[in-house]
Amino acid sequence: QKEVEQDPGPLSVPEGAIVSLNCTYSNSAFQYFMWYRQYSRKGPELLMYTYSSGNKEDGRFTAQVDKSSKYISLFIRDSQPSDSATYLCAMSNAGGTSYGKLTFGQGTILTVHP
């Protein structure tokens, strides 16, 4: 069993829809949680970072962490065609620094059509 499981998708939604992307994990040592966005033919770039249970908002994006259930989500409100990309969840354990080794989910391809 992989340490991090991500809903594989792909997802195709109309512009303006609310998108929900999800990951579960099995390693209780994971304490830091990230969402990366990867456009086609590009490297991943950090979108959201959080380390506590609860919600964190940044514009149209909300990252949600539930450590008791080992479940994280990324919500995108009012989705735009420019949000079309692969979204990767990533996690890091509490040993060392928060930005040490990352374990990634498989990625979800999202397409937002006009």
Partner 1 sequence: DADVTQTPRNRITKTGKRIMLECSQTKGHDRMYWYRQDPGLGLRLIYYSFDVKDINKGEISDGYSVSRQAQAKFSLSLESAIPNQTALYFCATSDPLSEQFFGPGTRLTVL
**Rule CB under 8 A: is residue 111 a binding residue for partner 1?**
no
Backbone angles phi, psi at 81, to 5 degrees: -55, -30
**Rule CB under 8 A: is residue 6 a binding residue for partner 1?**
yes
**Rule CB under 8 A: is residue 104 a binding residue for partner 1?**
yes
Comparison of 16 and 100: residue with beta carbon closer to partner 1: 100
Judged by CB under 8 A, the stretch of 10-18, 37-45, 63-71, 72-80 that binds partner 1 is 37-45
- Least distance (Å) from partner 1 to the CB of residue 53? 21
**Rule CB under 8 A: is residue 8 a binding residue for partner 1?**
yes
